[in-house]
Chain A
Amino acid sequence: MAAVAMRLPVSRKAAAPSGPRGGEKHLVAPGDTITTDTGYMRGHGTYVDEEKLIASVAGAVERVNKLVCVKALKTRYNGEVGDIVVGRITEVQQKRWKVETNSRLDSVLLLSSMNLPGGELRRRSAEDELAMRDYLQEGDLISAEVQSVFSDGAVSLHTRSLKYGKLGQGVLVQVSPSLVKRQKTHFHDLPCGASVILGNNGFIWIYPTTEQKDEEAGGFTTNLEPVPLSDREVISRLRNCIVALATQKLMLFDTSILYCYEASLPHQIKDILKPEVMEEIVLETRQRLLDLEG
């Protein structure tokens, strides 16, 4: 049996727009004039030239009262206070770590914003500074919350709660930040047997559900016990489902991921990545979500 599946390229049929919703949006490309009315304030994705408001990215125009902005299809993650992000440590500097969060500048995690083991609250001393590498090294994954945003757009993170911290065994999936829906909570325990953290920056972390929540760990001790095969299969299937949803551009939230998982059960895990299967699963998911709303 062949180890590699090959296929010839096929012209993809254009996706049928679901319902008449597509007609209302005003779609623009760079250089298009949005309006010549000077009463509007300009937002992201626009610039003013000779009293005309011109779009600078390709996307849909959004008007909120007097504010006009153009939402691009793909953007880097722009941090907002209170967002949950999943990031990877890239550098260990004096009193802070640099974290890569798929935004245009690296984010910063200050030593004073980090939880100490045991959850104690005390002033960070020189020994803590020297021991920074024991807590987090380059390449570690963390979950954190955005504390503040600097003027140039760089984001400052904190892990001041016990639910944030270093991530242990699991799978990371990177999608576009625009596909992650904003919700009240981004930590979900899915009934299929795994848990997922939907980072607002597009990094999604899937990990096996821990049976008991241990309070003392504070997120530093990583659980390195071997994960049973059934859990691993669930996690792999979830990962492929998320990739399928992202490819078909469906918003990611716990319900959509769960429905997609259930729709994919008849298929083998590795088949989910095939384009026909992807389309079929996502179509079914869309259908169920529409039924849920309507």
Chain B
Amino acid sequence: MRDVSSGRSRGTGTPLSCHGPASAPRPRGRRSAPWGCGVGVPAPHCPPGDTDWGSHHSQGCRTGGGSHHPRGHGEGVPPLLGLQSWGSRHPPAPGDMEWGSHLPQGCRARVPPPHHPTGHGAGALPDRALVNCQYSMATFSTGERKRRPHGDRKSSEMTLHLKQTFEAAILTELYPRSQIDIYVQILQADGGNYCACVNAATLAVIDAGIPMRDYVCASSAGFVEDTALADLSYVEEASGGPQAALALLPTSGQIALLQMDSRLHEDHLEAVIEAASGACRAVHAVLDGVVRDHVREVTALLGD
């Protein structure tokens, strides 16, 4: 488990942490830092009932402008900023042992290990695990502080999408009559909510040791002025252009979920999907690096 400095500004010194060349100025007044600064930094003796998480800021810089790449600089696939570490929950809290909680871009996910179904009336499936997702947004996540009731339309829809995505990716046949919970909460909403949730939940599921076919990496994509853009920010999403969300299993190239609510000419569809796939693979590279480092470290510690 790592402690990570939680500086509010990323301070990488690269121009990437600033706005890209062709983007609209972000409305600074509304949020303090447009790129998610992970809230949680774990303390090893965290009190019971609390979760550790590492802070990740993926998608730290999202600009539109001119290319398929998330940063619009036309360079090679950029390393997404600041997917720094992941923390996993350590023993002390009774009953809450093996959770992974991760925060890409202002989102945290919690996956308790598979357990006996808590029976919300749905009951247990005899041959598979039941995947139960819950999506919520923190009140401070958007520009105006807004209380969001659980079970409103948007969060139900998001919950359903997450459930579908993870039912496709998790090998549920290995856990008959059990229930796998995925709780996701958005801490900073700056576009790409669904995608951030999927990425965070992927890390959490891997950390919990639940078998999956592959990573699930997600990214949004849009189409503005004859260019396909990947990883849209809030401003770009709100501008009203067509946008799609894509959840991909990178190694096999299989699509777990592709969703679009707007109208797009079918000639442009290919380009949009390409852009999203490229961004997904970039995210995969970062997540993979983090997972491998963690595994290497823990294996070295366990030693024997």
Contacts and interface: CB of A to CB of B under 8 A. Distances in A.
Interface of A: 7, 9-12, 14-15, 17-18, 21-22, 25, 27, 29-32, 45, 47, 49, 54, 56-60, 72-76, 102, 104-106, 152-153, 172-176, 178-179, 202, 243, 246-251, 273-275, 278
5 contacts: A9-B42, A57-B212, A72-B209, A152-B176, A152-B177
A222 to B, nearest CB: 20
Interface in B262-304: 288, 291-292, 294-304
Interface of B: 1-6, 41-45, 88, 90-92, 94-95, 97-98, 113-116, 171, 175-178, 206-215, 249-252, 288, 291-292, 294-304
A29 B206 contact: yes
Contact of A58 (B41, B171, B295): B295
A104 B98 CA distance: 12
Contacts of B90: 246-247
Given A22-B296, A27-B296, A11 B114 contact: no
A152 B173 CA distance: 10
Q: Which 7 A-B pairs have the closest CB atoms?
A: A31-B214, A56-B211, A9-B41, A17-B300, A72-B209, A249-B301, A31-B251
Given A9-B3, A73-B298, A18 B303 contact: yes
Main secondary structure of the interface of B (DSSP, over half): loop
Nearest to B92: A243
B286 to A, nearest CB: 12
B213 A47 contact: yes
B254 to A, nearest CB: 10
Given A49-B213, A75-B209, A275-B43, 6 more contacts: A9-B41, A29-B206, A30-B206, A105-B177, A175-B91, A176-B91
Given A11-B3, A246-B90, A31 B250 contact: yes
Contact of A25 (B5, B211, B215, B299): B299
Given A27-B295, A104-B175, A249-B301, A73 B5 contact: no
Contacts of A27: 292, 295-296, 299
A75 B209 CA distance: 6
A178 to B, nearest CB: 8
Nearest to A55: B211
- Which residue, B6, B249, B303, has most C-beta atoms of chain A within 10 A? B303
Given A76-B114, A104-B175, A176-B98, A30 B214 contact: yes
Contacts of B116: 104-106
A18 B300 contact: yes
A22 B298 CA distance: 10
Contacts of B250: 31
A11 B215 contact: no
Contact of A278 (B44, B208, B297, B304): B44
Nearest to A175: B91
A15 B171 contact: no
Contact of B215 (A29, A75, A251, A274): A29
Given A56-B171, A174-B91, A10 B296 contact: no
Contacts of B302: 178-179, 249-251
A209 to B, nearest CB: 24
B4 A9 contact: yes
B97 A274 contact: no
A200 B300 CA distance: 22
A104 B114 contact: yes
B97 A202 contact: yes
A136 to B, nearest CB: 18
A176 B97 contact: yes
A20 B92 CA distance: 31
A270 to B, nearest CB: 10
B304 A251 contact: yes
A106 B177 CA distance: 11
B98 to A, nearest CB: 5
Given A31-B214, A247-B90, A9 B295 contact: no
Contacts of B175: 104, 153
Contact of A243 (B91, B97, B294): B91
B113 A76 contact: yes
Nearest to B289: A29
Given A18-B300, A73-B298, A104-B113, A56 B97 contact: no
B177 A59 contact: no
Contacts of B41: 9
B175 to A, nearest CB: 6
Contacts of A176: 91, 97-98
Given A10-B3, A29-B215, A47-B171, A22 B295 contact: no
B8 to A, nearest CB: 13
- Which residue, A9, A21, A72, A75, has most C-beta atoms of chain B within 10 A? A9
Contacts of B44: 247, 273, 275, 278
